[in-house]
Amino acid sequence: MLKIAPDLTNKQLDDVIEICSTLNMDGLIATNTTIDRKGLSAKQSTIERIGAGGLSGAPLTSQSTEVVSYINQKSNASIPIIGVGGIESASTALDKINAGAQLVQVYSGLIYSGPYLIKRIKKAIVG
């Protein structure tokens, strides 16, 4: 599987979809961390002091879900997708599933919400 950034353009995503199909890859992990900083509540000077690097968690949620949805639609649901990025609740996990992900990966949400997050996500997905 290939893990991709949420910062790719639609043209770049189209290229990734074509490569996945051509190489008969097992699927995509969408998405990795972002370099985008818009929408953060921290002061710009604080963001600059922290530096560039991958941003994960809640600020990534909608951007990541959009990438999952785009890939699912453009590939006619032919590429298995693991949805990642900003999953901090059962609702955000379901958003990834509804966008076309077959599986979800949780990391930051587990740190902030604790281990019972997994049980809540499982209950929301399978009942």
pLDDT tens digit sequence for 69-88: 999 999 999 999 999 999 99
CB 64 within 8 A of CB 83: yes
Which residues on neighbouring strands pair with residue 44, listed in sequence order?
none
CATH of domain 2-38+45-126: 3.20.20.70
Predicted confidence band of residue 42 (pLDDT cuts 50, 70, 90): low
Q: Is the pLDDT of residue 50 over 90?
A: no
Predicted confidence band of residue 60 (pLDDT cuts 50, 70, 90): confident
pTM of the model as a whole: 0.88
CB 70 within 8 A of CB 43: no
Predicted confidence band of residue 98 (pLDDT cuts 50, 70, 90): very high
CB 64 within 8 A of CB 10: no
Instruction: Please give the residue that has the higher pLDDT: either 57 or 12.
Output: 12
* CA distances in angstroms from 106 to 6, 24, 36, 66, 96, listed in the order given: 16, 26, 20, 17, 11
Q: Which two three-digit tokens encode residue 74?
A: 């453009």
